Structure 1
Amino acid sequence: MKFKQTFLFVFAAVLTLSAYAQKKPKINKANSARESGELAEAKSIIDAAIEHEKTKDDAKTWYYRGLIYATLDTTSNEQFSGLTDNALEEATKAFDKASELDPDEKGLYVTGDMGIPVLMDQQVNGYYSYYYNTAVEAFSSNEYETAVSNFENAAYIIKDDTGAVVNAAFAAHNGELYDAAIKNYRAAMDRGAQSIDLYYNLLNILVAAKKDNDAALALVNEGLEKFPNDPVLTKNRINLLINMDKVEDAKADLKNAIKAEPENPDLYFTLGVLLEETEDIDGAIEAYKKAIEVKPDHFESNFNYGVILINAANDVIKEVNNLGMSKADQKKAREMQPVIEDKLKAALPQWERVYEINPDEVQAIETLAYIYNQLGMKEKYKEMSSKLN
């Protein structure tokens, strides 16, 4: 009989403990503990709440968890900062889960000073700003590793933001942390950052620092899909193909592309740049002229053709400038003046055309001012000089 009584007592004790373990966590108490600085208690309650049947699917549970773990992540109190080693990850995951459970975020706020509601979105932005501002301070002090780490943390908090991840790339690049720079430039592009400078900077690392021509060529090809007329990417593509001993392949690809799209001026322009880089100037002129024939206001082709023409004049001018002071040299210089004048006159209409297409192109204005001055066209020269000023 005593044995049975003992058994019943133990069984009852087990039932009592089980009932106690299943008690619903008080999530409001967790947040109150956070606000009063009792972070260990807040963490203990909220960790239980995400496991409990009655609170695990409550958006506010996850919202409070995000706040608690964000506070653990950013606290300067060593007593609490060591309570978890993945606070950033857990806080961000919790905010995301809260937003998933309450897409309108209507119930996700706390009451701030003066009784004004502080929304989850505002708190997440504040969390982001904490890391972003820390990164900016580190960057200003040339502490590039710290800057990169904090910019990356900011980018982790708001995953569709491009500002932090772009700056992480810049900080890494400045600090010659090339692997981190590559990772963040790519992340910025993947998030939709549109600046062509991202391609330029990443290309610089791949070519100069990593010497990875294959990766650089793939990047250039990707960039040209977004910026098909960009002369910097076009020229880099050609230089890469030359360095990779693929010039003939490039020519063949371009010529096949031109056969398929004979009315595409960009293809003629690219062929012109390739031929110019391989010092086939006559072939380049022919390609640029063909692009202009297809599209008369194709700026890049008009511009490059103009550069070839002005360079022809400048080559003769340099030759004259390098002559000595002997009578023979001076005689030769005088004989070459008409040649210079003819070449400048040949270049003039093309640069006027470039200027007509884009009157704000500084190099066109400078070149026209130079030609007008060399040819003694005073009024035209004054007009261009005035525009420059």
Structure 2
Amino acid sequence: MKTKISIIAALSLTMVGFAQKNEIKDAEKALKDGDAAAAKTSIESAMGSISGADEKLQAQYYYTRGKIYADLAKKGDDSAFEPAANSFQKVLDIEEQSGKNKYSDEATQYMASVSADLVNSAVSDNEQKKFDSAADKLYMSYKLSPKDTTYLYYAASSAVNGGHYEKALKYYNELQDIGYDGSGIVYKATNVATGEEEIMDKVQRDLMIKSGTYKDPVDEKTPSKKAEIVKNTALIYTQLGQDDKALDAYKAARANDPNDVNLILNEANLYFKLGDKDKFKELMAEAIALAPDNPDLHYNVGVINMEQGNFEEARESYKKAIEINPGYTNAYLNLSTTYVNEGNALIDEMNSLGNSRADIAKYDELKTKKDDLFTRGANILEDALKTNPDNQGILTQLKNIYGAMGDNENFMRIKKMLGE
């Protein structure tokens, strides 16, 4: 009785094997006839029992399945890329384990083709602003061909462009883990027929130069992308509200590229967000030392000093910004405001005085000083009007100052300029 059971089991397994082979053959025939959909149906019908087949049949199955899904992907089915890649990888794994090599070489070639199709599809997705899909495809291309680390870099860039920051962060961290540098050499030459400069690989470029169809070869070095990657990592941490990690990333980035002004500004802005305005000023001073002719840097330092009540320091910064850019309207407005704010502080003191002779004398002294500050603030805006005669912000602030001073003549003049 035991023998009969054993024979029945063996016959059963043999019949399953025949069924799998037939399904694979049907799938291969349908694929050859150009009917990838029918081929997919046939190959997937064998999926449930393929794990029980021998290694030779498993390799054949996954090789065929990979070809079917690669064909579907080439025809525009984006969901087919992953099963195609996974199937060819399965072929390599099975044959490596078994020591046989019937399908591995062709599977490797197909994987390279799938990778190229993925990249082309990702380029199209990026053009259509389908950044998330593009990032996934580029990352899959990298996993198919880990030596092509540039795909991982562009996957991160696509994720950033689409605002998918956590995905981008994963890719950037992976780039740092593998020590990605991104520097290299781009080989260019000018097409004699068109006069346009073109990029190609070195061997092709050198051959074209020898043939005389191209001229003026150029070997252009591309800079390392390490600093950019660390900087973007820090920006993403900031975007995600992970400020401590962002600060650590900025330290790493600045150690790698201490003279990157934008990097300093991004770190300064984070400290400003955290309320550490002294550190903000310190970093802004570093940035100014590196880019002394940038008016925005001086202006921003002026803003912080004005907020902290350091009017003289603020004025120096605003004046420097105006010196560099004579049309810097906001610098004029804020410079004027430093005098107005200082004058307003005197009004509070004036109102606190009594009616004694000493208080009246003190009141007159403070009023003269206040009027002088308001006049200086007004004169700055009058100068600004010479280059910005129709600026509504300047005119409105100037009208308010003359109104506070009781200068009715100038008040009405500015009011008329405002069209009121």
- TM-score (norm: length of structure 2): 0.44
Structure with max Cα Rg: 2
- TM-score (norm: length of structure 1): 0.47
